[in-house]
């Protein structure tokens, strides 16, 4: 039977911005999201900047408060309701759920050696008894992340982007987490280095039995890495499916537009791209009905008034009033 590590139901994250009676606004960064993340899987979360991906990842790490709905973590050893998690259980969850940052240049303190950067979570969380044990653990995880052990005494500025990201990965994994959120973790790297870091993440997933939530704006990166993909737009999930199914036959017009933005090697395909017009609307001023209707070439009257809910057909979910009739539509 499939085991789920994370289960979220109707999860929403709201931020209050501005102050005073008339300037205060509620920003719905994540709005009524339901998803399951299978244990040991590589779960992709895609969407443009401003779609709420990062906030959803942080809510699942209990790094931002959940306003509505619920999220549960269950790894066979412990079971936590993230909404009410606090005290010793929250401290324990910090060990089990970790984040790999996007920017390896900004994430690493330039004044700490690589050894101290990787060791810090062990020391802050009190996970080792003494320096010898800490050093042993640091060397073990550094080797798994393909870092040269001689380099542990150096400072981050001595390393390339790819090497720095491997240091960030080692720091995230040193506490022995089960769940890892990788937030645009290869976006700041050259394409050739991206493949190297992605291969390392896949290898670590296999070796350590990790479960990844891989956040990216780039579908082509997700294609080769993830088992399952969720597409997010303005705080809502609009489509989810196993990667193979999503890439073979995307159903939501937004997903199709994201696919069209992937450069094609076939010159005959290049003219067929469906351009994603306009900007993603502000989360403080969201459109009524389908949130994508202001940019969707297929919007009709009902799209402006009624929000479509996720419909499931086997393991493929889509939230669009017209997905069935649009299955064979050629991009406008």
182 versus 257: smaller Cβ distance to ligand SF4? 257
174: nearest Cα among 127, 206, 130: 127
Considering only residues 213 to 252 of the shown chain, the ones binding ligand SF4 according to CB under 6 A are: 252
How buried is residue 285: exposed, middle or buried, by Cβ count under 10 Å (0-12/13-18/19+)?
exposed
Our finding on whether 296 is near ligand SF4 (CB under 6 A) is yes
CB nearer to ligand SF4: pick between 101 and 323: 323
Binding status of residue 299 toward ligand SF4 by CB under 6 A: yes
Residues between 60 and 89 with contacts to ligand SF4, criterion CB under 6 A: none
Of residues 162 and 308, the one with the C-beta less far from ligand SF4: 308
Length of the chain as a residue count: 332
118 binds ligand SF4 (CB under 6 A): no
CA-to-CA distance for 208 and 6, rounded, in angstroms? 18
Distance in angstroms (rounded) separating the CA atoms of residues 293 and 48: 16
Q: Is residue 156 helix, strand or coil?
A: helix
**Binding residue for ligand SF4, selected from 58, 94, 166, 322, defined by CB under 6 A:** 322
* Cα within 13 Å of Cα(179), Cβ side: 28
How big is the chain by its Cα radius of gyration, in Å? 21
To ligand SF4, the closest distance from the beta carbon of 194 in angstroms equals 30
Q: Does 303 bind ligand SF4 (CB under 6 A)?
A: yes
Instruction: Give the one residue of 15, 105, 247, 298 binding ligand SF4; rule: CB under 6 A.
Output: 298
Stretch that binds ligand SF4, among 68-76, 97-105, 242-250, 317-325 (CB under 6 A): 317-325
The stretch near ligand SF4 (CB under 6 A) out of 105-113, 135-143, 174-182, 319-327 is 319-327
Given a contact cutoff of 8 angstroms between Cβ atoms, the answer to whether 56 and 34 are in contact is no
CA-CA-CA-CA torsion sign (169, 213, 206, 96): positive
**What DSSP element (H or E) covers 13?**
strand 4-17
Q: Under rule CB under 6 A, how many of the chain's residues touch ligand SF4?
A: 13
Any contact of residue 321 with ligand SF4 (CB under 6 A)? yes
With contact defined as beta carbons under 8 Å apart, do 96 and 85 qualify?
A: no
Of 160 and 288, the one with the shorter C-beta distance to ligand SF4 is 288
DSSP-assigned letters across all residues of 296-320: -TT--HHHHHSPPPPEEETTEEE--
Interacting residues with ligand SF4 between 276 and 295 (CB under 6 A)? 290, 292-293
Q: Which residues would be at the binding site for ligand SF4 (CB under 6 A)?
A: 252-253, 290, 292-293, 296, 298-299, 303, 308, 320-322
């Amino acid at each position: 039977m499939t085991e789920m590590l994370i289960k979220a139901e109707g999860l929403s994250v709201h931020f209050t911005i501005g102050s005073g009676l008339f300037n205060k606004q509620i920003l719905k960064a994540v709005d009524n999201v339901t998803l399951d993340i299978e244990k040991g899987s590589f779960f992709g979360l895609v969407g443009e900047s401003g779609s709420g991906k990062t906030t959803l990842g942080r809510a699942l790490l209990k790094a931002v408060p959940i306003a509505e709905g619920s999220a549960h973590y269950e790894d066979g050893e412990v079971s936590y309701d993230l909404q009410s998690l606090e005290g010793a259980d929250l401290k324990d969850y910090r060990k089990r759920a970790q984040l790999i940052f996007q920017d390896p240049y900004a994430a690493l303190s330039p004044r700490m050696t690589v050894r101290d950067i990787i060791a810090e979570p062990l020391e802050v969380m009190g996970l080792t008894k003494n320096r010898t044990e800490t050093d042993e653990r640091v060397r073990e995880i550094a080797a798994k992340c393909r870092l040269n052990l001689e380099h542990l005494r150096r400072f981050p500025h001595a390393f390339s982007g790819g090497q720095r990201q491997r240091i960030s990965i080692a720091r995230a994994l040193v506490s022995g987490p089960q769940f890892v959120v990788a937030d645009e973790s290869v976006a700041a790297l050259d394409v050739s280095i991206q493949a190297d870091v992605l291969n390392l993440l896949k290898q670590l997933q296999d070796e350590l039995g990790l479960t990844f939530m891989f956040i990216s704006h780039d579908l082509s990166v997700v294609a080769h890495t993830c088992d399952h993909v969720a597409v997010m737009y303005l705080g809502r999930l609009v489509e989810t499916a196993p990667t193979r199914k999503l890439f073979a036959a995307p159903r939501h017009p937004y997903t199709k537009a994201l696919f069209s933005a992937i450069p094609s090697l076939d010159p005959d395909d290049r003219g067929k791209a469906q351009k994603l017009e306009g900007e993603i609307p502000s989360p403080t001023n969201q459109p009524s009905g389908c949130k994508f209707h202001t940019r969707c070439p297929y919007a009709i009257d009902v799209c402006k008034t009624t929000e479509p809910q996720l419909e499931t057909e086997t393991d493929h979910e889509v939230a669009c009033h017209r997905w069935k009739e649009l299955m064979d539509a050629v991009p406008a």
